[in-house]
Amino acid sequence: MRSRYTAFVLQLDDYLLASWHPSTRPPELDLKNSPKWARLEVVSSHAEGDRGQVHFRAYYRSSQGMQMMEEESDFIRENGQWFYHQGQTPA
C-alpha cells in the first residue's frame, strides 16, 4: 500500500498499473488531475494466505483545505507479488 501511495504522489502510472491485478486493472491511468497528496495513514492491515486488506486514509490539499480519502483495499498475492485488486469506502 505504501509503495502505491508513493506512486500516486510521484504520478508513476506505469508502476500503479503494474501493481494492479489484471482482473480489475484499467487499460490506462491518467494522473494529470490527481490531487496534491500530503500524508498516508494506515489504519489497519491483515493478510490471510494470498489475500490481504489494508484500511487507509490518504490526505490531500485542495482549494478547500486539507481533505481525506478513506478506503479498504483488497490485495491478492500471486507468485510472491502483491497486487491491488479493488477498494471500497468503509461504511
Average pLDDT across each block of 10 residues of the chain; the chain has 91 residues. List them in order. Answer: 93 97 96 94 97 97 94 97 96 78
- Is the domain spanning 2-88 CATH 3.10.450.50? The answer is yes
Beta bridge partners of 58: 40, 69
What does pTM read for this prediction?
0.90
Beta bridge partners of 72: 55, 88
Find cell 508513476 and name the residue: 12
Instruction: Count other C-beta atoms under 10 Å from residue 27's C-beta.
Output: 5
